[in-house]
Structure 1
Amino acid sequence: MLSPACFGSYDIRGKIGHTIDTDLAFRTGAAFASVMQPKTVVVGRDCRPSSPKLAQAVINGLRRSGVDVIDIGLSGTEEMYFATDHFGASGGITITASHNPIDYNGMKMVAEGSRPLTDVEFRQIGLTTGGPMHATEQIGTCVEASARATYANHLVDMIDTVRLRPTRMVVNACGVAGPAFDAVLDTLRTRGPKVEVTRLNHEPDPAFRNGIPNPMLPEQHAATGDAVVAARAQFGVAWDGDFDRCFFFDETGAFVDGEYVVALLAQAALARHPAATIIHDPRIVWNTQRVVSEHGGVSHQSKTGHAYLKAAMRETGAIYGGEMSAHHYFSSFMNCDSGMIPWLMMAELLSITRMHLSQLVAEMKALHPSSGELNFTVTDPETTIAQIKARYLGQAVDVENCDGLSMSFETWRFNLRCSNTESLLRLNVETRGDPVALAQHVHDLTELMHPTETVIAPTRRSA
């Protein structure tokens, strides 16, 4: 029996009334109980209109299977991660569709200690959801609880507040980040640092009146960027719907591309943990590797995707892992991704360096300009990758297959891979200080792919 259509590679996402509804949510809760055999499960939800009913259905499915539930209510995905570990629960489920349109919803699930589910566990839950249900005679309990105060203290403990200079920032919550941010900020202020904040879209809004919570969209950049300039802030932050991703804007209001944020957070992490290991994805690597090396760290590459990054964090003992897609992972946060920790680290880094964010980014861009992720629709992705490999094999000084095809040359490098979630080829190109050559290599590779459609990276004004 096939898994329900809303089960993706590592989470559940679907359109309300089409591939996901309360019946499926109930069955998923029961399937999670059957496969994972948990004693207690934490359940949270985002602010979508469909989330309360879906959360209640999941809770009912768990309880009808004899599982006790801790309901943390309106919360971000990382708050579910933290609460699962904090309460010693056997697993956690959050109801969210992150940055998808309002008529979508989904679920993210973890096991004990907030470890990601294995592929086998996730697939088995999908198969069980689509099969016959077996309720038990014992009904589990349900209690409402919050770990937000402890969560906020834990996050603030991750930076050296003594080194934090007075900071002015803009925050654009978009989804459910507002209440958690306020808790973290209140805790930070009790430690002494002066932080001035301009808040945008701060209250969770089920109607999404200011657009879907996806700060990657170019049309959403101006709201945060203009507010940064108006407030004369040092930087701005915008989160996606469940705030497990965060996006930065420098003091000029410019969007900071994700690959440079990874390098900056690596630098910040190494300032407190010299000689530590840093994980990065294989799409854009040279700048991150240079920064890690210059600050005494060790770089380690992982396949793209949260399950792979989290596994690499555990295997290597890395203190930080970053993906250019704005997922950032921390060893002191159950090796999970957080969208709230990065702004604390960025404030600390700017205080230590006493430099503008735009200056730090400009230096990196000059040394390693990159294309950002370019997306192409092609007739046969696998054949296209094979043809490009054959075309450049004689010139490459290094070839990797960690995630798709990566080929390095003396002065430039590219990564070409199939999307995990869409029928697309994703291309990233970088050079050693040569933006003109960068544009040429992007052009040449695009010509070789014969795309039927090209989608320019949403965070780039040009290739």
Structure 2
Amino acid sequence: MDVSCFKAYDLRGRVPEQLNPELAERIGRAYVELTNARKVVVGYDIRLSSPEIAAALSAGLMAAGANVYDIGLCGTEQVYFATSHYSMDGGIMVTASHNPKDHNGMKLVGHQSRPISSDNGLNAIRDRVSLPFEDARVPGRRERLAVEGDYIHHLLGYIDGSTIKPLRVVVNAGNGGAGPVIDSLARWLPFEFVRLHHVPNGHFPNGVPNPLLEENRAVTAEAVIREGADMGIAWDGDYDRCFFFDEKGRFIEGYYIVGLLAEQFLRKVGRGKIIHDPRLTWNTQDMVRAAGGIPIESKTGHAFIKQRMREEDALYGGEMSAHHYFRDFAYCDSGMIPWLLVAERLCQTGQPLSSLIDARIEAYPASGEINRSVDDPARLLAKIEEIYGQDALSVSHVDGLSVEFERWRFNLRMSNTEPLVRLNVESRGDIALMKEKTAELLDAMVRLNPS
């Protein structure tokens, strides 16, 4: 059986060649056998193949003896929420996020919405699906579980309603699943929403929702300017990531949003621990310390961030890739909580979003993540460390190679899935230095790549 859809953190593959109802049914059986789950939440995204794959998955779960709690069309974070909030044994979301429309996949969690990845069960499920199964003596049953009311109530609990004032907000769901959630929140918030690509549509008539692609940003940016909005927000298909545009239509790098959200949390509670990834760090560390918090570095990736947050009992964790994690959301990522917190900050301060971000960009200008294909990523990292490590103040291997100097630093890491390296460079208040060092490193990477 083709199991190439199993990746490091989830399942992704083309339908039906790599993922199909037959495999989905066997994944359900293997999941129950290996986790011993008896109550499992199942949800699915707006892709055309999702209902059929979710139905087959549910059939496998029930054949193995688990009861399925079907929450229907939803976002990944609603599976996380339902699994934790209703004390289920596990949850599975059928989604391929921002992958092409002929793909699908799954994200699996266990009790308390703890992620199931390749190092703690996903590989075992992969290895089990090709072997024979027997039906449980007593099959499980399926029932619908309505979660929207509790989920919306939980989201609204992150903001102080007494401080919320009218705002004009452009929202671009990309024809993914975010639209209905915005409509539900709109009943409780005095915001005027300008809706773009709002209706869920698995045909993706406006392209697959992936706001990280520059070509997908213009429609949101132009709408913000045209409508005189206070900010714009765009989501990926399963809306576990959200992306921000200020009132000028400028796309804001996720790095600066991490610092802003950390500060907003700490303003509410006074003290606490904040987890961040190692790619770009100085702005986050500065803002967290200034707000009375403790910044803690973790390896990039949702499984690592979530585990470290549990270990530290951290309030919030953020990655520059627009994944934001919250302690009171079962340490899971949400694409709805971040924009509510940013909107709250705008209401409380009366400042435009650009003014909250400009000072941070000026203090810590960053290159943004730059990807390059190389023949031997490990060899390249070793060579770069050999060149730059000798005169550095510090060298770290928390995730790839982080090298720090007095006025600038960089992180260079290998992709988990492709022969790529990813470079991030930042400086202390010196954009010219940041650009100079970025160009210098890119030249070195070309020179050191044997091809």
- TM-score norm. by structure 2 comes to 0.97
Contact 2:383 2:448 (C-alpha < 8 Å) held by counterparts: no
TM-superposition CA deviations, 1:324-353 (whole Å, max 9, x none) = 000000011111000000111001111222
Q: Which of 414, 419, 424 pairs up with 1:428?
A: 424
Measured in 1, the distance between the counterparts of 2:411 and 2:353 equals 27
Measured in 2, the distance between the counterparts of 1:356 and 1:124 equals 49
| Residue of structure 2 in register with 1:208 after alignment | 204
Contact 1:170 1:200 (C-alpha < 8 Å) held by counterparts: yes
Q: Do the aligned partners of residues 178 and 390 (structure 1) sit closer, same or farther apart at CA in structure 2, a change above 3 Å counting? A: same
| Residue of structure 1 in register with 2:165 after alignment | 165
Measured in 1, the distance between the counterparts of 2:76 and 2:428 equals 37
| Residue of structure 2 in register with 1:257 after alignment | 253
Which one-letter code corresponds to 1:207 in the other structure? Answer: H
State yes or no: 1:328 paired with 2:318. Answer: no
Structure 1 residue 86 displacement after superposition: 2.4
Q: Which of 289, 296, 300 pairs up with 1:293?
A: 289
Measured in 1, the distance between the counterparts of 2:255 and 2:53 equals 35
State yes or no: 1:131 paired with 2:108. Answer: no
Equivalent position SS for 1:282: coil
State yes or no: 1:315 paired with 2:307. Answer: no
Which one-letter code corresponds to 1:162 in the other structure? Answer: S
| Residue of structure 2 in register with 1:153 after alignment | 153
| Residue of structure 2 in register with 1:49 after alignment | 48
Q: Which of 266, 271, 277 pairs up with 1:270?
A: 266
TM-superposition CA deviations, 1:23-45 (whole Å, max 9, x none) = 11111111101111111100000
Contact 1:82 1:333 (C-alpha < 8 Å) held by counterparts: yes
Contact 1:376 1:451 (C-alpha < 8 Å) held by counterparts: no
TM-superposition CA deviations, 1:418-463 (whole Å, max 9, x none) = 112322101100011111111111111112212799xxxxxxxxxx
| Residue of structure 2 in register with 1:343 after alignment | 339
Which one-letter code corresponds to 1:386 in the other structure? Answer: A
| Residue of structure 2 in register with 1:398 after alignment | 394
| Residue of structure 2 in register with 1:177 after alignment | 178
Measured in 2, the distance between the counterparts of 1:441 and 1:153 equals 47
Task: Select between 156-165 and 50-59 the one with higher mean Cα deviation.
Answer: 156-165
Contact 1:33 1:62 (C-alpha < 8 Å) held by counterparts: yes
Contact 1:378 1:451 (C-alpha < 8 Å) held by counterparts: no
Which one-letter code corresponds to 1:135 in the other structure? Answer: D
Contact 1:75 1:176 (C-alpha < 8 Å) held by counterparts: yes
Measured in 1, the distance between the counterparts of 2:206 and 2:308 equals 37
Which one-letter code corresponds to 2:97 in the other structure? Answer: S
Q: Which of 230, 242, 245 pairs up with 2:238?
A: 242
Measured in 1, the distance between the counterparts of 2:64 and 2:114 equals 22
Q: Do the aligned partners of residues 248 and 266 (structure 1) sit closer, same or farther apart at CA in structure 2, a change above 3 Å counting? A: same
Measured in 1, the distance between the counterparts of 2:355 and 2:181 equals 30
Q: Do the aligned partners of residues 440 and 84 (structure 1) sit closer, same or farther apart at CA in structure 2, a change above 3 Å counting? A: same
Contact 1:377 1:452 (C-alpha < 8 Å) held by counterparts: no
Measured in 2, the distance between the counterparts of 1:67 and 1:171 equals 38
TM-superposition CA deviations, 1:161-198 (whole Å, max 9, x none) = 11122211111111011112222232x33xxxx21111
**Matches for 1:44-193 after TM superposition, within 5 Å:** 44-117=43-116, 119-174=119-174, 175-186=176-187, 188-189=188-189
Contact 2:169 2:192 (C-alpha < 8 Å) held by counterparts: yes
Contact 2:45 2:238 (C-alpha < 8 Å) held by counterparts: yes
| Residue of structure 1 in register with 2:279 after alignment | 283
Measured in 2, the distance between the counterparts of 1:183 and 1:80 equals 17
Measured in 2, the distance between the counterparts of 1:376 and 1:131 equals 40
State yes or no: 1:5 paired with 2:4. Answer: yes
Q: Do the aligned partners of residues 257 and 451 (structure 1) sit closer, same or farther apart at CA in structure 2, a change above 3 Å counting? A: farther
Q: Do the aligned partners of residues 452 and 75 (structure 1) sit closer, same or farther apart at CA in structure 2, a change above 3 Å counting? A: farther
Which runs of no fewer than 5 residues in structure 2 stay unpaired? none
- TM-score norm. by structure 1 comes to 0.94
Equivalent position SS for 2:59: helix
Measured in 2, the distance between the counterparts of 1:259 and 1:451 equals 29
Contact 1:378 1:452 (C-alpha < 8 Å) held by counterparts: no
State yes or no: 1:384 paired with 2:364. Answer: no
Structure 1 residue 107 displacement after superposition: 0.1
Equivalent position SS for 1:267: helix
TM-superposition CA deviations, 1:289-325 (whole Å, max 9, x none) = 1111111111001100000110111111111100000
Measured in 2, the distance between the counterparts of 1:204 and 1:143 equals 24
TM-align CA RMSD: 1.4
Equivalent position SS for 2:251: coil
Structure 1 residue 132 displacement after superposition: 2.5
Measured in 2, the distance between the counterparts of 1:421 and 1:159 equals 38
Measured in 2, the distance between the counterparts of 1:384 and 1:10 equals 25
Measured in 2, the distance between the counterparts of 1:78 and 1:426 equals 27
Contact 2:169 2:193 (C-alpha < 8 Å) held by counterparts: yes
| Residue of structure 2 in register with 1:460 after alignment | none
Measured in 1, the distance between the counterparts of 2:61 and 2:253 equals 41
Which one-letter code corresponds to 1:355 in the other structure? Answer: Q
Which runs of no fewer than 5 residues in structure 1 stay unpaired? 454-463
Measured in 2, the distance between the counterparts of 1:393 and 1:112 equals 43
Equivalent position SS for 1:120: coil
